[in-house]
Structure 1
Amino acid sequence: MRDLLFRGQTRRKGERVLMNGKPIDANWVYGGIFQGKGDFSVIYTYEPIKKMPVYTDTVGQYAGIDDKNGTKVFEGDILKLKHRLYVIEWKSGCLYASQKSYLKDSVSTFYKPVDNLIAEGAGVIGNIYDNPELLEG
């Protein structure tokens, strides 16, 4: 059975967030989710019991697989295999690794199953929230 695990950002890069008058130190939190209808959702953990507000648009689900280094792969992660970069995203109800191909004036997207990419030796090098510059150019 696959673990149902989610992650979300408590604060964005360079942002200072207060909770009950105290700064939140964590950037990423992991656990179950109470999906919010607005800008925020809640990630909860059991040991210790903790509820943390996170930005809904940063919530990503665990793909159920670890990369070649044992790092858990989540939706929104950027994987590298040889000289190619892939982004983990949902398509047709499943998590896939997408790759953009830039030809002349058009952009095409190719999808590959995440487990195939990991089997070929791909590794997580960042995510689209903390490292968007990896996808530029």
Structure 2
Amino acid sequence: MNKPKFRALNKKSNEWVYGVPIPNGLSKRVFMICLTLDVEIAYPLEQLHDFCVEVIPETIGQYTGLKDKNGVDIYEGDVLVYDAPKKYAHRRSMHEIAYADGRFFWKFLDLIFCQSNILYRDGYLVIGNIHENPELLSGVE
């Protein structure tokens, strides 16, 4: 069974952290437990706070379970480009990865959802994400 995997930007260091988000219903603060949760490892509850990091809520993205052509994990919020061979350069396109209705979708950079689920295709490269590279949303590389 695949365990959900998330990433978010650490609020203090602005670096990516990985784990499981813990929303706080009493405030807008969100924390991430930065642990690898395995059945062989048990963490004492009194030490869990040592693994909590406050994150920027808007940057939380779930791992899609897919990798790009270079083996890089693809997360919600990543921007991918289809690295088409030269003879198909007219097919070069950029997409944001989004999550809706329990599925990951390609989202064209004009912010219209593609009508199909993400299907793995060779040739896609992660070129950034919408949080660190907002200029990609305007199609500027």
Report the TM-score range of the alignment, normalised by the length of the smaller protein. 0.7 to 0.9
Distance 1:100 1:128, change over 3 A: closer
Q: TM-score when scaled to structure 2?
A: 0.72
- Counterparts of residues 98-109 of structure 1 (less than 5 Å): 98-101=107-110, 108-109=112-113
Q: TM-score when scaled to structure 1?
A: 0.74
**Is contact 1:32–1:45 with CA below 8 Å preserved after alignment?**
yes
What is aligned with 1:119? 121
Which consecutive unaligned segments of at least 5 residues does structure 2 have? 37-42, 44-49, 84-91
Is the counterpart of residue 43 in structure 1 residue 32 in structure 2?
Answer: yes
Larger radius of gyration: 2
Q: Which amino acid aligns with 1:59?
A: I
What is aligned with 1:110? 114
**Is contact 2:109–2:138 with CA below 8 Å preserved after alignment?**
no
What is aligned with 1:76? 77
Q: Distance in 1 between matches of 2:2 and 2:68?
A: 15
Give the CA RMSD over aligned residues.
2.3
Matched residue SS, 2:51: strand
Distance 1:112 1:85, change over 3 A: farther
Matched residue SS, 1:135: helix
Which consecutive unaligned segments of at least 5 residues does structure 1 have? 12-16, 18-23, 102-106
Post-superposition shift, 1:8?
0.8
Q: Distance in 2 between matches of 1:108 and 1:42?
A: 30
Summarize deviations over 1:99-119 as a string: whole Å, max 9, x none: 145xxxxx74424422x2x32
Structure holding more helix per residue: 2
Post-superposition shift, 1:121?
1.9
Structure holding more strand per residue: 1
What is aligned with 1:20? none
Summarize deviations over 1:75-121 as a string: whole Å, max 9, x none: 111011032111111122211111145xxxxx74424422x2x3232
What percentage of aligned pairs have identical amino acids?
30
What is aligned with 1:104? none
Summarize deviations over 1:27-49 as a string: whole Å, max 9, x none: 11001221234432111123696
What is aligned with 1:28? 16
Q: How many residues align?
A: 118
